Copies of this chain bind each other. A is one copy, B any other.
Amino acid sequence: MALFSSLTPVFIAIICVLIGVILKKTNGEKEKRETKSKPLSRPWVDEDLKDGTDHHLEEEDVDEEWQGLDENVAHVPFFAERYSEGEMIKRSQMFYELLNKRRSVRFLSDEPVPREVIDNVIRTAGTSPSGAHTEPWTFVVVQDPYLKHKIREIVEEEEEINYKKRMGDRWVNDLKRLRTNWIKEYLDTAPYLILIFKQVYGWLPNGKKKTHYYNEISVSIACGILLAALQNAGLYTVTSTPLNCGPQLRVLLQRPANEKLLLLLPVGYPKKEATVPALTRKPLEDIMVVM
Contacts and interface: CB of A to CB of B under 8 A. Distances in A.
A273 to B, nearest CB: 8
Among A38, A87, A132, the one with the most B-chain Cβ atoms within 10 Å of its Cβ is A132
Contacts of A225: 99, 224-225, 227-228
Among A59, A99, A275, the one with the most B-chain Cβ atoms within 10 Å of its Cβ is A99
A171 to B, nearest CB: 7
A178 B133 contact: yes
Interface residues of A, number: 149
Contacts of A275: 75-78
A16 interface: yes
A42 to B, nearest CB: 6
A143 to B, nearest CB: 7
A99 B80 contact: no
A24 B42 CA distance: 31
Given A75-B179, A96-B124, A138-B289, 17 more contacts: A13-B16, A41-B56, A42-B52, A42-B55, A44-B213, A78-B270, A87-B234, A88-B235, A89-B114, A92-B121, A96-B120, A144-B291, A174-B211, A221-B223, A221-B224, A223-B224, A224-B224
